[in-house]
Amino acid sequence: MDQTSNTEDFIRQLAEHQNRLYGYVYSLVGDHSRAADVVQETNLVLWRKIEEFQSDKPFLPWAFAIARFQVLAHLRDRKRERMLLDASLVETLSAEAEEQASQIDSVREALRLCLQRLEPDHRELIERRYFRSMSVADVAEALNRTVGAVKVALLRVRRQLAGCVQKRLAAES
């Protein structure tokens, strides 16, 4: 891969994973302002290490590792302030957050497949409520149903989806 393509792929990966990187850092520092600062520093470090980026390897574990070091550096720099976390707790939380992040892709893929298997009227219900962010009342009005009927239908479809996702994840492991 030439340097331009590698740089473009790096930028695409970095942009695609900003929310997950922010969520990871926020889970470790517990403050939006600090998380934003650490993510900004993490982005700079990632950019400086672009030569180490390998487009054929997963981006997120590499970015999480750098973010973890940035969180630890942030905590060291703030020693005079009241410490909420120490380094060992950050390491523990970090490992747990990284493991959960790796499972998100599996859950997302299982959910995508389960959504495809829904009956069309159930899929429409889910799409209106969660993809278009319609209120239950608006969904009920659009489908000419009562609010109570929509709530019950959503509950049943969510249970169906949860069962389907659990079965798919169990089959994977």
Alpha-carbon separation of residue 132 from 5, 30, 136, 161 (angstroms): 35, 30, 11, 18
0.75 surpassed by pTM: no
Angle between helices 59-77 and 3-16 (to 10 degrees): 70
- pLDDT at position 116 is 94
Per-residue pLDDT, averaged over 133-151, amounts to: 94
pLDDT: which is higher, 86 or 130: 130
pLDDT tens string 38-49: 999 999 999 999
Please report the pLDDT score of residue 119 as a whole number: 95
Q: Give the pLDDT confidence score for residue 100 in this predicted structure.
A: 75
Domains of the chain: 1-116 (1.10.1740.10), 118-172 (1.10.10)
Q: Write down the mean pLDDT value for the chain.
A: 88
The CA distance from 55 to 1, in Å, is 9
pLDDT-based confidence at 67, cuts 50/70/90?
A: very high
pLDDT at 81 over 70: no
